[in-house]
């Protein structure tokens, strides 16, 4: 081989070696990139090519009344899906499914011909329809289990509970207000494909995802009382030919709402079938003139400021009182001469209240109106609460100050009225109304407990007692306007109201369109129940004393027939509203088949019961409503000696619940059968 040939050979070998090294480096770099640098990205891509994921609607927490009865729950239903790429005959398939699902055939056919691998055909259908679809055994058609919101009691408390939309999000009521607590983490459904892209249906599994847990709500509402109130309200609306109505039942010492009823048919299970107005919670969202139900708050201000006593006399102008360009008349054209403050409230004199308001002064009157909570929201844990309308006192004319005295020219809400009345019943202390007592997890562990909240001391206990006496005579005396609200053997304090509605077309108050109202509480000497009844535009009996007051009486009497109240107990003032303690109403078993009005502060499930009854560290437990066996068990757990009196259910205890424990604490618990 010549020298030139050897040189050329060496050059070729060197070139080949260099090329080989470069190729190795390139291949190694590529392999490194694929296996190390881009591994996660490529794995994700491969997973997408071989698996498919579908996000399903999330589960939701249960809503229970104070006794543990379900008001809103979740059930599993079937939804029908399709993989259009696997449908061999879209025409025939859509025809078969159309008959079963009651869906237009062309609509189904359009979905089945779409160029995609997944589509919904029908969501949350009844089991019988799902079985028929399953029995067809059509390739590419399958069913998936999805959670569906269900309201076991139908229309009961529908406006308060609210409903969820197609995306399982709360739309109104408690479902909306507590959305972030009720809504669970969306679950995902995944399935795999083989190398040819065919779905492996037998391998489909529901994957549990980690996320925030949803919670159950325990309400202050008692389902039985809610049903009772709704039934009587519906009867009254029909009997009086009213446009609508609402009623609220509250425990005045705590602000707990026991029932909140709207007379308007609305079933959250089928919310799309009802007009939007029927879903409105008018008890908190509607503003209206309160009429004569506003007079007790003026009387409270006058007594508190000591500008008048119950016996002070006021001249009521014989039924006609001219103020500026306005003449004030008495209701039903009555004519009064001299009336005491006591009789002004008993007879509901418009002119008499104007005279009291003039003596009080508009600035002081406005101050008390605000202090009782009017002109602002109460803060109740429901969406859509209105503030009402209270104009600044600086803009009040003399006529304004006069008409507001008898509840005209000011707008309030139902929840404001009952809350303000509750302050009079609660020794002058205004409480914040609330619907939810607490939240628990799926194991019954208490996540959060909502305590009664004191807002402010509006009037003194002495003034509250004096106003209560005035309101007791409104109902108890034969010539009182509220005599139709009397309950046998129970002292009732209350006030009637008839509020003219403003006619915007005529720019004047209408004499035909009115709201009739009655608000009251009982027993007057130991208030446990406060109630407001409002009927809108009754066609018969257009006065609060003859339209709304009997509804109050009927509800109250049935409460006392089914649920016996312990009215003999006279708690000491400090027991009425101890800070940050559970202040349940004092009801015991009625016996003879009756049931206790309000359960102990828990729901029926044992796991929840133990949580709700657990006392705060170092405080006396609440034994109310327990059997002797339950009291002994709880006392053993907490190391408290028990002295037992009587038999049946615990109705009294001393020391009271929430009092500090000592090393030698002994609690005397009185039991009664309610007979």
Which backbone phi and psi does 248 adopt, to 5 degrees? -130, 135
β-strand partners of 655 = none
pLDDT bin (cut points 50, 70, 90) of residue 444 is confident
Alpha-carbon torsion, ordered 190, 194, 199, 201, to 10 deg: -70
393, pLDDT greater than 80: yes
Three-state DSSP state, 496? strand
Alpha-carbon torsion, ordered 22, 27, 31, 33, to 10 deg: 50
Mean pLDDT of 430-450: 92
pLDDT attached to residue 601: 39
Which segments of 349-481 are extended strands (E)? 429-431, 436-440, 446-449, 454-457
For the ranges 23-27, 246-250, 582-586, 631-635, the lowest mean pLDDT is seen at 582-586
207, pLDDT greater than 80: no
Mean pLDDT of 453-459: 97
User: How large a percentage of the chain has pLDDT more than 70?
Assistant: 78
Per the CB < 8 A criterion, the answer to whether 542 and 515 are in contact is: no
624, pLDDT greater than 80: no
pLDDT attached to residue 464: 97
Left, alpha or beta for 402 (phi > 0: left; psi -120 to 50: alpha)?
alpha
The span from the CA of 61 to the CA of 214, in Å, is 6
Q: Is 385 exposed, middle or buried (0-12, 13-18, 19+ CB in 10 A)?
A: buried
Residues 6 or more apart whose Cβ sits within 8 Å of residue 254: 431, 452, 582, 583, 584, 585
Which segments of 223-295 are extended strands (E)? 244-251, 256-262
Question: Mean pLDDT for the chain?
Answer: 81
The span from the CA of 17 to the CA of 53, in Å, is 50
The span from the CA of 555 to the CA of 257, in Å, is 15
Q: Which tens digit of pLDDT belongs to each residue from 510-547?
A: 778 899 999 999 999 999 999 999 999 999 888 888 99
β-strand partners of 191 = 52
Reported pTM: 0.74
Which segments of 346-487 are extended strands (E)? 429-431, 436-440, 446-449, 454-457
Q: For residue 655, is the peptide bond before it cis, meaning its omega torsion is within 30 degrees of 0?
A: yes
The span from the CA of 563 to the CA of 399, in Å, is 47
501, pLDDT greater than 50: yes
Per the CB < 8 A criterion, the answer to whether 230 and 156 are in contact is: yes
DSSP-based helix, strand, coil % in the chain, nearest 5: 40, 25, 35
17, pLDDT greater than 90: no
What residue has token string 């009754």? Answer: 538
Smallest CA-to-CA distance from 149 within 183, 177, 119, 118 is with 183
pLDDT bin (cut points 50, 70, 90) of residue 29 is low
Q: Which tens digit of pLDDT belongs to each residue from 213-244?
A: 789 999 999 999 999 999 999 999 999 999 99
Residues 6 or more apart whose Cβ sits within 8 Å of residue 304: 368, 459, 460, 463
The span from the CA of 220 to the CA of 200, in Å, is 49
What residue has token string 């379900």? Answer: 70
666 vs 461 pLDDT, higher one: 461
**What burial letters (b/e) apply to 585-623, b meaning 16+ CB within 10 Å?**
bbbbbbeeebebbbbbbbbeeeebbebbbebeeeebbbb
603 vs 258 pLDDT, higher one: 258
């Amino acid at each position: 081989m010549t020298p030139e040939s050897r040189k050329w050979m060496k050059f070729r070998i060197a070139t080949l070696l260099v090329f080989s090294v470069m190729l190795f480096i390139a291949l190694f770099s590529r392999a490194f990139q694929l296996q190390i640098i881009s591994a996660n990205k490529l794995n994700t891509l491969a997973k997408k090519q071989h698996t498919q994921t579908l996000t399903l609607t999330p589960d939701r927490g249960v809503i229970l009344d104070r006794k543990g009865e379900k008001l809103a729950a979740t059930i599993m239903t079937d939804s029908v899906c399709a993989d259009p790429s696997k449908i061999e005959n879209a025409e025939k398939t859509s025809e078969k499914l159309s008959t079963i699902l009651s869906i237009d055939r062309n609509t189904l056919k359009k979905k089945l011909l779409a160029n995609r691998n997944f589509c919904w055909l029908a969501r949350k259908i009844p089991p019988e329809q799902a079985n028929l679809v399953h029995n067809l055994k059509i390739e590419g058609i399958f069913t998936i289990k999805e959670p569906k919101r269900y309201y076991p009691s139908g229309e009961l408390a529908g406006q308060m509970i609210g409903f969820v939309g197609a995306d399982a999000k709360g739309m109104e009521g408690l479902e909306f207000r507590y959305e972030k607590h009720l809504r669970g983490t969306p679950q995902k459904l995944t399935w795999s494909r083989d190398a040819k892209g065919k779905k492996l249906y037998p391998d489909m599994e529901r994957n549990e995802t980690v996320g925030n847990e949803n919670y159950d709500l325990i309400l202050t509402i008692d389902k039985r009382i809610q049903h009772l109130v709704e039934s009587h309200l519906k009867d009254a609306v029909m009997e009086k030919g009213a446009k609508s109505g609402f009623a609220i039942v509250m425990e005045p010492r705590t602000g707990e709402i026991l029932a909140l009823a709207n007379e308007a048919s609305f079933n959250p299970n089928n919310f799309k079938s009802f007009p939007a107005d029927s879903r409105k919670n008018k008890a908190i969202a509607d503003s209206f003139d309160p009429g004569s139900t506003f007079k007790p708050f003026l009387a409270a201000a006058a007594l508190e400021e000591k500008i008048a006593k119950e016996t002070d006399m006021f001249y009521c102008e014989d039924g006609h009182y001219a103020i500026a360009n306005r003449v004030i008349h008495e209701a039903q054209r009555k004519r009064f001469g001299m009336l005491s403050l006591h009789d002004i409230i008993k007879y509901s004199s418009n002119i008499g209240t104007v005279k009291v308001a003039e003596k009080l002064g508009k600035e002081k009157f406005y101050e008390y109106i605000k202090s009782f909570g009017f002109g602002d929201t109460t803060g109740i844990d429901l969406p859509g609460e209105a503030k009402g309308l209270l104009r600044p006192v600086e803009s009040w004319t003399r006529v304004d100050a006069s008409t507001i005295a008898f509840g005209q020219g000011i707008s309030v809400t139902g929840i404001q009225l009952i809350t303000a009345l509750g302050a009079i019943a609660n020794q002058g202390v205004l409480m914040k109304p609330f619907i939810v007592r607490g939240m628990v997890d799926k194991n019954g562990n208490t996540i959060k407990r909502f305590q009664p909240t004191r807002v402010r001391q509006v009037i003194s206990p002495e003034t509250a007692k004096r106003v209560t006496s005035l309101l007791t005579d409104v109902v108890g005396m034969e010539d009182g306007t509220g005599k139709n609200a009397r309950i046998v053997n129970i002292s009732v304090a209350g006030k009637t109201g008839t509020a003219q509605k403003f006619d915007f077309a005529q720019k004047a108050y209408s004499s035909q369109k009115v709201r009739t109202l009655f608000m009251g509480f009982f027993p007057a000497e130991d208030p446990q129940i406060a109630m407001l009844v409002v009927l809108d535009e009754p066609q018969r009996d257009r006065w609060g004393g003859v339209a709304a007051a009997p509804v109050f009486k009927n509800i109250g009497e049935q409460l006392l027939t089914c649920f016996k109240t312990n009215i003999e107990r006279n708690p000491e003032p400090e027991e009425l509203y101890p800070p940050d303690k559970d202040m349940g109403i004092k009801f015991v078993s009625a016996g003879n088949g009756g049931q206790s009005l309000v359960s102990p502060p828990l729901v029926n499930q044992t796991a929840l019961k133990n949580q709700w009854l657990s006392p705060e560290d170092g405080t006396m437990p609440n034994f109310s409503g327990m059997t002797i066996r339950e009291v002994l068990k709880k006392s053993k757990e907490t190391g408290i000696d028990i002295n037992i009196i009587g038999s049946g259910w615990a109705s009294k205890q001393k020391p009271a619940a929430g009092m500090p424990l000592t090393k030698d604490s002994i609690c005397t618990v009185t039991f009664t059968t309610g007979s």
